[in-house]
Structure formats: C-alpha cells, structure tokens
Chain A
Amino acid sequence: MSIRKARGLLFLPLAALFLLLVTAPALAVGLGVTPEKLNIEVSRGGSTTATLNVVNSGSDESSFKVYVEEEKYKGWFVIEPEEFTLPAQGTKAVEVSVRPPVYASGEHEARICIVSLPPGEGLAIGTGIKVPTHIHISAMLSLPWIIGIVAVVAIILVIVLRRRRA
C-alpha cells in the first residue's frame, strides 16, 4: 500500500469523526433558578408574592414543573405558572404567592421544587432544584381582617343601640 493511499484511508475516518464531533448535539438537561432561597413575611390572614426566575440551561427545549414538596403546605401556595416549556437558554418568571390559613402562625419551612424532565426511553434523567422557603407569619392580623372585625363590631353596636332606644 502506498503512503498516499494509507493517508487517504486514515483521512476518511478522521474526517467522519470530526464531522460527528462538530455536528452532534451535546445532549444535556439543565436548570437554573434564582434566588437560591425565599424568605417570606406574611401577616395572619394575608398573602405575599415572590418571584422565582427559571432558566433552561440545557441544550434543548425542555418542560418544567413547579410544585411544593411538603404535602401540608401545598394549600398555602399558589404558583403561576405551574407547568411551562422553555427553549434552550430560555427564561421564565414564576410567581409564588403564599397565603397561610388564618389559624397558622409562627415559622414554617417548605421547599419549592422546580424539575426539568426530558422525554426518553428506558431510564430518563432529569434535573431538579429545591428552593428552601422560610415563611414567617406575623401575629398581627392583616388589614382586611382588621377592617372586617371593626365593621362587625360597629354593626353589633348599632343594633344594640337601636334596641335600647326602642
């Protein structure tokens, strides 16, 4: 075999390898979230909204879900949107509203989970981020509750005064 022919034979697989390296997509699923944790101050009976910024740091379009990990806190949260799709490097602002029940008080720890799952056969591999969320419920009633209570008391007083006059 001549040297020229041998070089030709070597060149073909090398060229194919090069094309493969250049054109093959680097398949990866990725997810980023800011901020790393939430501190939410909410008055009893009130609600507070925070924002999580989500970025698809993977190499392809991906679907995302956002939910609260702890079952007991699921009713406290309203998440908008809960599910969405992002292109590679796409971002999304997720509104997280916390509205604890009136009877709740004190400090609470929850985790907001954001997960990215690519479709795949066999064992699909995804990524998720858990954002620790600290909720502080102040003892003071929120303004709507105060107004409501004042209104009820006022109505009762009016009724009592009218009966006395009668």
Chain B
Amino acid sequence: MKKLTKGKGLLGMVLTVLLLCALVVPATPVLANPDTSMSISPATQTVNAGESFDVDVVVATTGLTRAAQFDLSFAPSLVQVTSVTEGNYYSDWATAHGGLTYFNPGATNNTAGTVHMAAVAILGGGPGGQTGSGTFIVVHMTAKTGVSGTSALTLFDIIVADENAQAIPDVVINSGEVVVGAGEVTPPTVTTNNATGVTTNSATLNGNLTSLGTATSVNVSFEWGTTTSYGSETTPETMTSTGSFDAALSGLTPGATYHFRAKAVGDGTSYGSDRSFVTTGEAPSSVSVALTATILPAVSISVAPTSIDFGELAAGDVSSAHTITITNLGGKSVDVTAEATGDSLYVDGLWLDEGLWDVYSATIAKSAYTTTDATLHVPEDYTDLGTREGTLIFWAEATP
C-alpha cells in the first residue's frame, strides 16, 4: 500500500482541509461519547535515565472512524521526542479496502515539550472506516540522562473523525505518564593495551574490558589505521564478562606506523586510549610512476573533403567554389603543393584559389590548418562528355 507523506501534497492538503472543516463544528457542550476514546498506551511506564521508549497513541471505538489527530505535551526536562511514526490501525483498514493513508507526524518542539497536530487519515477505500481499537501513531521518546521524575504525557486538541469525516464529539481522552530515573544507564569501560607479535606485516592488538556497565553483554573490537582517524575496525566480539581480548591484523606495510584503540558497545559506547606500533622492516624506498606519451609523426597532414563533385558543367563554364581544408597533424611545419592527374579536364582546368593547381603552395605551421577554394574551369574547346574522373593530391614535405 502506498502511504502519502506530508510533502506529497494535494491529497494530503485536501484531507487537512476536511479535518479543519470538521474542527470548526461548534463545540456544543454535550455528554462525552462513551463509544470513542483516544489513549496513551501504556498509561504509565517506567524507564531508566538515558533509555529510549515508545508511547502508543490508541483509538478505540464501537463505531467507524477514518481519521484522528492530537496534540501531546510532555516534560522536556525529563524526556524528549525523537520521532513520530504511523501505527497500523488505519493503514490495515486502508490496505484491506484498496485505499491509502495520509500521515502527518506533526511538529515536535522538544524545548516547549509538545507535538502539534500529529494525524492519520484514510483516503479512498470506499465507504466505512476502522472500528475497534488500535495504535494509529507511535511517539518514540528518550529519557534524558542524569535526571529523574515523572513526566505527564497529555493528549489535547484531539479530533477523531467518523466515516463521514465529521468530528466525533466528546471523545474520551486518556492521557498517560512516564516515570524516569528508576535506574541509570552506564556504558561499559575498556582500556587499550600494547600491541604484541609485531612483524613486518602483522600484529596482535590487545584490550581489556574492565566493566560491562549496565549491559549484560558488550561487543568489543579495535579501531585501527595509519592515523588517529583510524578508518578500519576489527570484527566485534561479544563478551558477557570483563577480561582481556585481542585481534590479529595481517597484510600490513613494512616499516609503517599504525594507530589503534579498543572499543566497547553496551549501554552506550566507550573507547580506550590511542596506542601505536611500527611494523618491522623498511618502508618501500621507491614508488613506480606510470609514464605515457604520444609521439606524433614528423610529417602528417589530413585533407577534407575526400572528393568533389563539381556538378553539371558545359564547355566554357566555371564551377562554384569548393573549400578544401588541409590540416597539419605532425610535429613539424610543412610545405604543401598540389598535383592534379587523370582526365585533362582537371589537369588543364582545376584551379586552386586564383590559379591553376600547379602554382599552388602553402606553408602550414604545426597544429595549424589552411583552406583553399577549388574551382573547375571547363576549357572552351573541351569536347568529351559524361562523368570525368581525376585525382588531386596535396603533397607535404617538412619545411627545411
């Protein structure tokens, strides 16, 4: 099933408008509706300082509902909201009926201690709505460290909409509370010991888990690398009691300095101090550098186009000009001349720029090019007919 988030716009905006329309229904003082309620679950829970916990917001009804919204207040000095996610109460119904849900996590203010306008609504899926009870939103919270006390979790400004998107009046509100500080969370402690068995390319890292803290098991490992930023970590090992641990490194570089520190993850993460060792042997005295170069031919030219069709001409005609580009691709300046062969039409009538081909010459510097305009001057006394073929060769020679 596809879920819409707040940013997905149009449908969400439409629903919000519907909810707001429902809000403006006059709040006439009537008796509470015993069939519909919104509650904090569990109503009371006890957590340790620094511990994360969840608060379910539950709708229960004997009728049909399609949307619910609430504001929540809490004591920010004791607990903080880390995120607000959608429960499965409305999404289960939407999935079963081919609809989808609109979810708004609301606006969390951990300074003021509020969550404002968290909401879920069913979109589509035909008539009807969800009944019974279920969690439609989960508020993920964390108790602060070093504190104790009780934080009320108070629901207010709630709306539960029926199958006609009308707010159900006088929904029973069951707020809750969380008690913080029954116990402190203590992270494990660990120390880093000297490396042993150091060779040219291997070493053994040593550490000692001195306390598990409040955790029953702790994962220990080593961070290591050629700087104190480390960059590598050994495979974690689970320990259920204090004691020493080690990890073997291999494939190290001879003559190199390595830094490492022990790491322990339990109810929190702690690190030992930085230590270092130097592998035996000498550091590589040289490195290889790949060298490449492309050698140009001493003399090289290219000519474009590769052929010219002067079109249909008659004796005495002069063709239109066709531009030929000659490019020097070699490593030297070149002198260029031209030579026309083949039919006398070309030998006698092919002009390059302002003269016959045999007077053409040009000097082209390295990486430069030149152009010449070729025209065909058909002699007045030319009598042959049909397509005539010839060859024009541009000859290059290195400039002396």
Using a CB–CB cutoff of 8 Å, the interface residues on chain A facing chain B are 26-37, 53, 55, 57-58, 60, 111, 113, 115, 117-118, 120-132
Contact = CB atoms under 8 A, between A and B. Distances in A.
Contact of B392 (A58, A125, A129, A132): A125
A130 B396 contact: yes
B301 A127 contact: yes
Given A29-B303, A55-B300, A57-B329, A125 B396 contact: no
A57 to B, nearest CB: 5
B302 A35 contact: no
A30 B305 CA distance: 11
B337 to A, nearest CB: 9
A58 B385 CA distance: 33
Q: How large is the interface on B (under 10, 10 to 19, 20 to 34, 35 or more residues)?
A: 35 or more
Given A121-B309, A126-B303, A127-B303, 9 more contacts: A28-B302, A55-B297, A57-B302, A120-B307, A122-B310, A123-B374, A125-B305, A125-B307, A129-B301
A118 B306 contact: yes
Q: Is the interface of A mostly helix, strand, loop or mixed?
A: strand
B387 interface: yes
Interface in B368-397: 374, 376, 387-397
Contact of B391 (A28, A113, A123): A123
B167 to A, nearest CB: 46
Contact of A32 (B297, B350, B376): B297
A33 B234 CA distance: 60
Contacts of A125: 303, 305-308, 324, 391-394
Contacts of A28: 302-306, 327
A29 B325 CA distance: 11
A12 B298 CA distance: 45
A36 B332 CA distance: 9
A117 to B, nearest CB: 7
A30 B393 CA distance: 11
B396 A127 contact: yes
B296 interface: yes
A152 to B, nearest CB: 45
29 contacts: A27-B305, A28-B304, A29-B303, A30-B302, A32-B330, A33-B298, A33-B299, A33-B300, A34-B297, A34-B298, A34-B299, A36-B298, A55-B300, A57-B300, A117-B391, A118-B306, A121-B307, A122-B307, A123-B307, A124-B391, A125-B305, A125-B307, A125-B392, A125-B393, A127-B396, A128-B339, A128-B396, A130-B395, A130-B397
The winner among B295, B376, B389, B395 for most chain A CB atoms within 10 A is: B395
Interface of B: 295-310, 324, 327, 329-330, 332, 339, 346, 350, 374, 376, 387-398
Top 6 closest pairs, chain A to chain B, by CB: A32-B300, A120-B307, A32-B297, A30-B302, A36-B298, A28-B304
A129 B47 CA distance: 91
Contacts of A55: 297, 300
B299 A32 contact: yes
A62 to B, nearest CB: 9
A118 B307 contact: yes
A32 B392 CA distance: 18
B393 to A, nearest CB: 5
A32 B294 CA distance: 14
Contact of A27 (B304, B391, B393): B304
B306 A36 contact: no
A129 B397 contact: yes
A131 B306 CA distance: 23
Given A120-B306, A125-B306, A32 B329 contact: yes
A123 B350 CA distance: 10
Nearest to A125: B392
B76 to A, nearest CB: 55
A123 B389 contact: yes
B308 A123 contact: yes
Nearest to A123: B308
A33 B398 CA distance: 10
B306 A29 contact: yes
Nearest to A130: B397
Nearest to B311: A122
B329 A124 contact: no
A124 B306 contact: yes
Contacts of A33: 297-300
Contacts of A37: 398
A123 B329 contact: no
Contact of B394 (A35, A60, A128): A128
A29 B302 contact: yes
Contacts of B394: 125-128
A36 B398 CA distance: 6
Contacts of A53: 297
Given A28-B306, A29-B306, A130-B397, A124 B299 contact: no
A123 B345 CA distance: 10
